[in-house]
Amino acid sequence: MSTNPVKNSKGLSAVIPKDNDGYCTVYKMDCTDGLGLMTIYEVYPGIQVIYNDFEAASCEWDAQPGKNILEINHCREGREGSRLLSGSCLYLGEGDMSIHAMDNCSPEMTFPLNHYRGISVVINLNTVAENPPEILCESGIDILGFKEKFCADGNCFIMRAKNEIEHIFSELYSVPDFLQKSYFKLKVQELLLFLSVIDVSQEKQREQYTAPQVEIVKEIHQKLVSNLQERFTIEQLSKEYLINTATLKNTFKGIYGKPIGNYMKEYRIRQAAVLLRQTQATIAEIANQVGYENQSKFATAFRDIMMISPAEYRKQNVGE
């Protein structure tokens, strides 16, 4: 398969060239449960910068990529999950960066929050080694050694959010069109230099989770969001799904980004906000629908999350 897995995405619905030289192409995806856009820039031979923008739970493709292709992912908004062929699952939160060999990853990206915005840099190591950017020649960086450095023994490198990552990627989200070609080359070179000096052994990486753990926690998540009027304790869920309480709490936070209690509080309030905008139900009725018997507690929780009272929120968003 080519460096670009998007061409084989199951839900690919449109390919839109943005210029005549193949530098920029937009791929539209109709995912099974939402939509996605992937805008791909051919920055150097063998190096692509991809802007990912999804309002969906997942995106799949059919074929496996070739050998010696690395994918570097940076999460800007939402969360993104991948599964290695070993069965280990990894999740990126806002500001995190991962590096994995594409032939060691299942052909699917998942988005636990049904929303994801981020950047991928895909590097065909063989092609880059044959046609290296000038900075690689000057610095003596061994691009072929990146795979062993970051992905030895089928592993994946996950770096927690830090200032150095933010510096490299944050500016890529607001590049004027007329500067893109030159600026992308500059930022890719900066990224390669940054990766060349990382001491993998000194980095505290994100935890990975087993596929069975992830599937159980996803089932628990579905139970929670499908029964907002009920309040389940962690002990109840642990006993029902035969999962250790510590594993449940740790894996849930790893997938969804927050402890169960905090996540469900925000989820309830976000659902309440939808009901306030789209229905004529009273505030008391909406509070009950999302699991608050006490309207005062609901109003306090709503203000904590939305920074405004339910009544004022409805007044400002009526008719949406």
Q: How sure is the predictor about 17, in pLDDT bands with cuts at 50, 70 and 90? A: confident
Q: What is the pLDDT of residues 90-124, one digit of tens each?
A: 999 999 999 999 988 888 889 999 999 999 999 99
Residue 11 has pLDDT above 80, yes or no: no
Structure token pair of residue 271: 């659902």
Place of tokens 């500059």: 186
Q: Is the pLDDT of residue 72 over 60?
A: yes
- Confidence tier at 5 by pLDDT (50, 70, 90): low
For residue 311, pLDDT over 90 is answered with yes
